[in-house]
Amino acid sequence: MPNRTSDIEQRATLKDIAERVGVHVSTVSRALNTETRSLVADELVQRILEAAEDLNYKPNRVALALRTRASMTVGVILPDIANATFPVLVHAIEATLATRKYSTLVAHAETGYPRKDTPLVDQLAARHIDGVILTTARRHHGIVDYCLKSSVPLVMVSRTEEDPRVSAVINDDIASMALAVRHVVELGHRRIAHLAGPADMSTGAARREGFIAAMREHKLEPSAIVRTKLYTREEGVLGAQEIFTIAPDTTAVITANDFLAVGCLDVIKASGRRCPDDVSVVGHNDMPLVDMIDPPLTTVRINYRQMGTEAALLMLRRLEDPTADAVMMTLRPKLVIRGSTGPAPR
C-alpha cells in the first residue's frame, strides 16, 4: 500500500485546462465565463469546455474570492440562545442561497450585551462575507453598524431597523394581535391580559403595541400588561404570576410567545384554575409540539420556512443587483385554534 496521501485527487485548475488545450490560462478563463465567452473563438470554446468537463474542473472559490472580493458566502447570525424555530429558518435560508451557489456561514451572537470587542464582526469582515442575515431580535448590535459602514447588504428577519438601507422580512405583529384578541373577544372574554416579550426585542415591543391597538379597536381596557425579560418558560411563569396578582379576574391571556404561554399554563394549573374552562391562553409562533401539550395550544402561526426563503431571496436580490432598493416584506400570520381557548366562564 502506498503512502496515505498519494491518492488525493488533485483538483484541476485553469492552468491544467490551458495546458491540455495548448492555450493561455486567461483564454480559458474567458471561455468558461459566460460573460466573456463571446471574446473567444467558437471552436476554441468548444475544446475548452470539453477539456474542463474531462478534467472535472470546478472553479476554486477561494482564489475567486481573493481576486474579486466576492466570497459567495452570506453570514447568518443566530441568537445566542437555542430556539426551536431556527432549524427550519436556517434550512430555508441555506437551501435558497444554495440555488445561486452561495454558501451559508452561521455564527451566534455574542452572549450577553457587554460591548465586547465584536470579534464576530471582524471574523465576518476577514472572510469577505458578501451579505449578512440577522435573525436576532435583540435590538442594538455591532453587526448592523459594520454592515452599514462597509455597505455589506443586510437583511433582518423578525426585526426592523430605521435605516432605509436594510431589508427586512417580518411578521405582521399588529395583525397577529388583532387575530388573537378578536378570537378571545368572540369567545366572550372581556378581562384580557397581555404577557409581553422583552422590550429590547422588536417582536416584544411590536406585539405589545398590537395588543393595545387591538383592544382599543374592541373598546376594551386590558386587565393587565406584564413584560418579561426573556422568551422562556420560566419568565412566563413569573409574568403570569404577576398578571394574576394584579388582575385575578383575568379570563384570557394573550402571550407574545409560545414559551411564555407554556409558563402561563404552568401557573394556571398550579393556582388551581383550569384551562380553558377558567382562563384561556393564546400563544405565538406555533412552535413544534405545542399541539401536543395539555391543553393543545391555541396560537398564532408564523411560517418560518417562508420567512427564511423570503429573507434569502431579498439577500440574493441585493447581491445580484447592488442598486436594488432595500425593501420590507411583511408576512401574514394565521390563527391556529386548539384547546387552550374556550368560551369565557359564566
Rule CB under 8 A: say whether 323 interacts with a second copy. no
| Residue 278 main-chain phi, psi, to 5 deg | -95, -45
Place of cell 404577576: 242
- Chosen from DNA, a second copy, none, partner binding at 4 (C-beta under 5 to 8 Å by type): a second copy
96 counts as binding a second copy under rule CB under 8 A: no
State the nearest-atom distance from the C-beta of 123 to DNA, in Å.
Answer: 14
Out of DNA, a second copy, none, what residue 7 binds, judged by CB under 5 to 8 A for its kind, is a second copy
Which residue reads 488533485 in cell numbers?
Answer: 10
30 binds, among DNA, a second copy, none (CB under 5 to 8 A by kind): DNA
Pairing of strands 167-171, 328-331: parallel
C-alpha cell at 132: 449578512
Alpha helices in 218-257, H assignment, sequence order: 233-246
- Tell me which of 68, 123, 150, 245 binds DNA, using CB under 7 A: 68
* Longest pairwise C-alpha distance within the chain: 90
- CB atoms < 10 A from the CB of 330, how many? 15
Q: Cell numbers for 257, please give them.
A: 410567545
User: Nine-digit cell at 76?
Assistant: 447568518
94 binds, among a second copy, DNA, none (CB under 5 to 8 A by kind): a second copy
Burial classification of residue 241, based on how many CB atoms lie within 10 Å of its CB (0-12 exposed, 13-18 middle, 19 or more buried): middle
How many residues are listed for the chain in this entry? 346
234 binds a second copy, rule: CB under 8 A: no
123 contacts a second copy (rule: CB under 8 A): yes
Which member of 290, 307, 314, 344 binds a second copy (CB under 8 A)? 290
Residue entry with cell 401536543: 292
Which window, 52-60, 186-194, 198-206, 331-339, contacts DNA (CB under 7 A)? 52-60
Of the candidate spans 65-73, 154-162, 165-173, 287-295, the one that interacts with DNA by CB under 7 A turns out to be 65-73
Q: Collect all residues with Cβ–Cβ distance below 8 Å to 189 and sequence separation of at least 6.
A: 251, 252, 280, 344
Binding partner selected for residue 25 from DNA, a second copy, none, CB under the kind-specific 5 to 8 Å limit: DNA
Binder among 66, 199, 270, 337 for a second copy (CB under 8 A): 66
- Chosen residue from 19, 53, 60, 200 binding DNA by CB under 7 A: 60
Residues contributing to the site for DNA (CB under 7 A) = 11, 13-15, 22-27, 29-30, 32-33, 35-36, 38-42, 44, 57, 59-60, 63-64, 66-68
